[in-house]
Amino acid sequence: MKRINRNFKVRNFHQAKWDEPIIFELSKKGERGILVPKAGEEIEKAVGDGISALPETMKRKEAPNLPEISQPRVLRHYMRLSQETLGADVNIEIGKGTCTVKYSPKVNEALARLPEMTELHPLQDESTVQGILEIMYKTDLYMREISGMDRFTFQPSGGSQAIFAMASIVRNYHRDKGQDEQRDEIITTIYSHPSDAAAPAVKGYKIIYIHPDEEGYPDFEAFKEAVSERTAAFIVANPEDTGVYNPRVKEFTELVHKAGGLCGYDQANANGLLGITRAKEAGFDMCFFNLHKTFSTPHGCGGPAVGATGVTKELEKYLPAPLIDYDGEKYFLNYEVTNNPYSIGKIRMFNGVAPVVLKAYAWIMSMGAEGLYEVAKVAVLNNNYLFKKLMEVDCVDAPYIRGKQRVEQVRYTLEKLTQDTGITTGDIQRRMMDFGMHYWTSHHPYYVPEPATLEPTETPSKEDLDEYIETLKHVFKEAYESPEIIKTAPHKSVCHQVDESGMDDPEKWAITWRSYLKKYKE
């Protein structure tokens, strides 16, 4: 026996690998996963088998080819798949820039899974849902305080749908003002999320992109050129996905207002700004927060989620119905405020994704104003610490606003590393997985060459940050000394390099198991 040496800088990691079959391969004729309640003798006596009442043409002739698997085997399969997923609960989430992957408190999840939440039907009488309505109403009030807006809807079920809701409001606002035909352009910046362009395009808008100026801020001169009587709205993230905060944002919004347009604030990047600065003071008419990001609710592999969308008093009438309100005695669904031909009507079924709102409420109540301020400060501290340490590494750079602070994330470039070694940012991404780390490049197209977007949030400790930095340095060193190990990575993840050659070929791709079996016979 000896003292075990734990003096290492990078982790000797290996992800769980179960080599699970596809679920259909587990099927065994006759096995059952669960028993379903029967109608019972008396009902059967009264109405027969139920199925005979169906017209022959509507009866299913062949049972669906679902697998037959007993319950322990189904459970084991999915437990194994869960172990093969690197969620935030098991890893240091620093590498997923723009995603704001922070700690999702377990108590909030436990509360959202109580039957007084899960077993509520959205059409129940208001008197029987006073608790959830109170939670939603108060979350609306807190969101108003956090943003300076005057009213929120929780219907948009993700950030992109929130952008879509904002673009819908823009259209109906201008329709209301009789200027819909004339205003057919929406301006955004290249480093705002792609959905800031894509969602308004569904509403028929032409998208104008503003690029950075020489220093790296959205180019105000170009912006002045772009704003005109055709401008319907300016929809933008600030900070952008580069972590660059546009200090002249108010001049941008003022210019748009002067030209008769609206301003929508994509606050997907709000984590570093809570309690620091708000949409209202920057001159925005609308904004949204991702409750699954900034408000911790969590991400769920990509939803359920909420893009809580807030507007000024002037735009309240355009919101989707119903809004959640309080008359001094009881909470209720308010259909009156939006009862006009220019309301966008409805964005999502029913009244919003209530359990997500509940978790955001609980998070806010565990933070208070001082906690939200702490979140912002620590998120920015963590990011600038990471930024400082990485910029000391020779092969790392970050274009734009040299020598200045970033907010909650940075988009780095590994261009020099690629030039020196041939190793790309995509290669680094795969190699980082061998150490249990996420590492995200960028949305497409890559405006920053060989990009890496890192966002630590307030969740990692200093030691976590140091481990991430040391791991990156280790991988960069490998790039110069033993690039082969990177080119062939991952080695310790769940699977090895995927042959993606069929992914864009209709003859080869297989989106379901049945398509796979059809295309690839034994």
The H or E element that residue 171 is part of is: helix 159-176
- 317 and 338 Cβ atoms separated by less than 8 Å: yes
- 348 and 122 Cβ atoms separated by less than 8 Å: no
Least distance from other proteins to the Cβ atom of residue 375, Å = 7
Least distance from other proteins to the Cβ atom of residue 418, Å = 19
Instruction: Give the side-chain half-sphere CA count within 13 A for 280.
Output: 17
Q: Considering only residues 11-30, where is the footprint of other proteins by CB under 8 A? A: 15, 19-20, 22-24
Single out the segment in contact with other proteins by CB under 8 A; choices: 411-419, 467-475, 476-484, 493-501: 493-501
- 492 φ/ψ angles, rounded to the nearest 5 degrees: -125, 20
Q: Considering only residues 318-347, where is the footprint of other proteins by CB under 8 A? A: 320, 344-347
d(CA 520, CA 522): 7
3-state secondary structure 442-475: CCCCCCCCCEEEECCCCCCCHHHHHHHHHHHHHH
Is 7 or 512 the residue whose CB approaches other proteins more closely?
Answer: 512
Least distance from other proteins to the Cβ atom of residue 328, Å = 16
Spell out the residues 6+ positions from residue 53 whose beta carbon is closer than 8 angstroms to its own. 47
Nearest Cα to Cα of residue 296 among 361, 228, 382: 361
Single out the segment in contact with other proteins by CB under 8 A; choices: 40-48, 224-232, 308-316, 469-477: 40-48
- 330 and 131 Cβ atoms separated by less than 8 Å: no
- CA distances to 78, 83, 123, 438, 516 from 18, rounded to whole Å, are 11, 9, 43, 20, 21
x/- string (CB under 8 A) for other proteins, residues 73-102?
-xx-xxxxxxxxxxxxxx-----x--x-x-
Is 61 or 313 the residue whose CB approaches other proteins more closely?
Answer: 61
The H or E element that residue 253 is part of is: helix 249-258
Pick from 151, 171, 183, 411 the residue near other proteins by CB under 8 A.
Answer: 171
For the beta carbon of residue 460, count every other beta carbon within 10 angstroms: 20
Q: Considering only residues 256-295, where is the footprint of other proteins by CB under 8 A? A: 272-273, 275-278, 281-282, 290, 292
Does 500 engage in binding with other proteins (CB under 8 A)? Answer: yes
Nearest Cα to Cα of residue 291 among 142, 159, 455: 159
Q: Considering only residues 197-256, where is the footprint of other proteins by CB under 8 A? A: 197-204, 207, 244-245, 247, 249-250
Does 301 engage in binding with other proteins (CB under 8 A)? Answer: yes
Single out the segment in contact with other proteins by CB under 8 A; choices: 222-230, 258-266, 300-308, 410-418: 300-308
* DSSP three-state, residue 391: helix
Q: Considering only residues 351-390, where is the footprint of other proteins by CB under 8 A? A: 351-356, 358, 361-362, 364-378, 380-382, 384-385, 387-389
Least distance from other proteins to the Cβ atom of residue 448, Å = 15
> The tokens of 449 are what?
């060459």
Least distance from other proteins to the Cβ atom of residue 101, Å = 6
- CA distances to 169, 219, 234, 242 from 185, rounded to whole Å, are 14, 18, 9, 24
d(CA 289, CA 158): 9
- For other proteins, how many residues bind (rule: CB under 8 A)? 216
x/- string (CB under 8 A) for other proteins, residues 113-152?
xxxxxxxxxxxxx-xxxxxx-xx------x--xx------
Does 105 engage in binding with other proteins (CB under 8 A)? Answer: yes
Is 480 or 509 the residue whose CB approaches other proteins more closely?
Answer: 509
Is 213 or 420 the residue whose CB approaches other proteins more closely?
Answer: 213
Q: Which residue type, as a one-letter code, is found at position 318?
A: Y
Q: Considering only residues 431-460, where is the footprint of other proteins by CB under 8 A? A: 433, 436, 438, 440, 443-445, 458-460
Least distance from other proteins to the Cβ atom of residue 159, Å = 6
